Amino acid sequence: MDAVMTLQINITPNGRMRLPADVRKRLGLAGGGAVYLEETEDGVVLRTANQAVAKAQALAKQYTGGNPNASVDAFLCRRREDSGE
């Protein structure tokens, strides 16, 4: 989805909120599921599990240069070498 959509979601006194059915369907949550809440300086972002994984993979790719063989151990080794340990 390229367009930004803004919806008003009301929160009940006990903290529940309801995502409209068409939004749940588009996000693959029609049968239920989980969303991840990220609090940012600009507000709140809700992501599906797939969206959260895709974001994490994109961040990892940034830090590994896209190298599929990158590992935490290799990263730590490079950091130790860079710091002169």
- For 18-38, write each residue's pLDDT tens digit: 999 999 999 999 888 899 999
d(CA 5, CA 60): 28
pLDDT band at 1 (very low <50, low <70, confident <90, very high): low
- For 53-71, write each residue's pLDDT tens digit: 998 888 878 877 767 667 7
From 23-27, 48-52, 75-79, the region with the lowest mean pLDDT: 75-79
Q: The whole model's pTM is what? A: 0.61
Q: Where are the beta strands (DSSP E) in 32-73?
A: 35-40, 43-48
Secondary structure, 3-state, 10-31:
CECCCCCECCCHHHHHHCCCCC
